Amino acid sequence: MPNGKPAGVRCPQLTVDNHCLLFDKPERPAVCVSLRPSEEMCGANDQEAMNRLTCLEKLTRPNSSPAAPFHQIVEPDC
C-alpha cells in the first residue's frame, strides 16, 4: 500500500490467524517494524488487540484531537 493503510481497515497482509505475511521481509512498512507487542498494546486476546489498535488509529489520525497517554487507552470505545 504505497499510501499506507486507512484507519479501520484490516491490513491485507494479515493471515486469517493474524500473522503478518511481510514479517522479516524488507518490504514490511517501517510503522509495522516499529511496533513492539506488549500486553498494554495487545491485551489478553485478539479482540482486545484489535480494539486497542483501532483506538490508537482513531487517536493518531491526522486532524484528530490530541492523543491520550497510551496507558490511558483501555476501553475499546475511544
SS (H, E, C) the chain: CCCCCCCCCCCCCECCCCCECCCCCCCCCHHHHHCCCCHHHHCCCHHHHHHHHHHHHHHHCCCCCCCCCHHHCCCCCC
Whole-number pLDDT of residue 74: 47
| Digit-coded pLDDT (tens) for 53-78 | 888 888 877 765 555 555 554 444 56
User: Three cell numbers at 11?
Assistant: 491490513
| Digit-coded pLDDT (tens) for 21-65 | 999 999 998 888 998 888 888 899 988 988 888 888 888 777 655
User: Three cell numbers at 13?
Assistant: 497482509
Tell me the HSE value of 36 on the side-chain side, using a 13 A CA sphere.
Answer: 0
